[in-house]
Structure 1
């Protein structure tokens, strides 16, 4: 009987979502980086950078016990990329770091709690594997979905993520 570990399941899901995310990021038009579909929306370039920077955040879920948003010494993302090439280079680098951290992890480690704080206020406390899925993968998928709407509104073909999109043969 074949058994699959928590780490293997998360890694398989991560690989699938990273491939889909890269498809969307490859279409981000940096000549329209300031585009916002609504006054409350994040500009396109900043949203794309956020999707990429979340990968570094996910790595913390695997490697650390906690993250305090008020800690001035906590790791911060680099400057906002100014081109698609910079964006994709950072995506590839952060993806590899996250994959490596996950490959070096083990199931028991992924069941230990991770705590997200703002000073003394606990914003979230979950097992690392759950934090990675909920605040990591799901959070990224949410923002990737926003990016795909921006692409649609800019009349840029949207890639198929879970099957063909309306812009691909057989899509709907």
Structure 2
């Protein structure tokens, strides 16, 4: 749980930069990549990563997020909407003081402190970002590292990759 506004902002800027790199490497044709029938495509998953009001609205955050619709056909549109939504979220939270992190709101039927909701929001993104990388590999796209180099990045550094 985040206790200070700055701790969230610092952490989320780092996590969002990792997500942004992945979204920036999607191609229009890769958006159709699926894992199995009846599950999200790579495009659906990428669009799901774009911050929207869902779990943020109960805290009073109005994020300039995407409409609740199917993902755009252009990968660049998804990446750009992510960029805009992240900036909107960071601007909204930066107007808070640290006491706001301790306020309790009902989110999805649970009573959570705002700092907890933001923590779960970041974990939600990390979880789905992991799924995104699997679909990116299946689509033949390069994957960038998150908490260390990816296989491709290791290889570029001359390190063994097996």
TM-score scaled by structure 2? 0.83
Q: Distance in 2 between matches of 1:28 and 1:8?
A: 31
Could you give the per-residue CA deviations for residues 124-154 of structure 1, whole angstroms, max 9, x where no partner exists? 22100111111x1000111111000111122
Superposition deviation, residue 76 in structure 1: 7.3
Superposition deviation, residue 77 in structure 1: 2.6
Per the alignment, residue 136 of structure 2 pairs with: 151
Per the alignment, residue 111 of structure 2 pairs with: 125
Superposition deviation, residue 59 in structure 1: 4.1
2:145 to 160, 163, 167: 160
Per the alignment, residue 109 of structure 1 pairs with: 100
Q: Distance in 2 between matches of 1:104 and 1:30?
A: 36
- 1:77 and 2:67 equivalent? yes
Per the alignment, residue 38 of structure 1 pairs with: 36
**Cα gap change, 1:159 to 1:76, in 2 (>3 Å):** closer
Q: Distance in 2 between matches of 1:89 and 1:152?
A: 22
Please state whether the residue corresponding to 2:43 is helix, strand or coil.
helix
Q: Distance in 2 between matches of 1:57 and 1:92?
A: 17
RMSD: 2.1
Per the alignment, residue 141 of structure 1 pairs with: 126
Per the alignment, residue 60 of structure 2 pairs with: 63
Q: Distance in 2 between matches of 1:58 and 1:16?
A: 20
**Cα gap change, 1:10 to 1:165, in 2 (>3 Å):** same
Please state whether the residue corresponding to 1:14 is helix, strand or coil.
helix
Q: Distance in 1 between matches of 2:122 and 2:4?
A: 15
Greater strand share, structure number: 1
TM-score scaled by structure 1? 0.78
Q: Distance in 2 between matches of 1:21 and 1:61?
A: 24
Query: Aligned pairs, how many?
Result: 151
Superposition deviation, residue 55 in structure 1: 4.5
2:4 to 6, 19, 41: 6
Q: Distance in 2 between matches of 1:56 and 1:86?
A: 19
**Cα gap change, 1:61 to 1:97, in 2 (>3 Å):** farther
Q: Distance in 2 between matches of 1:76 and 1:160?
A: 26
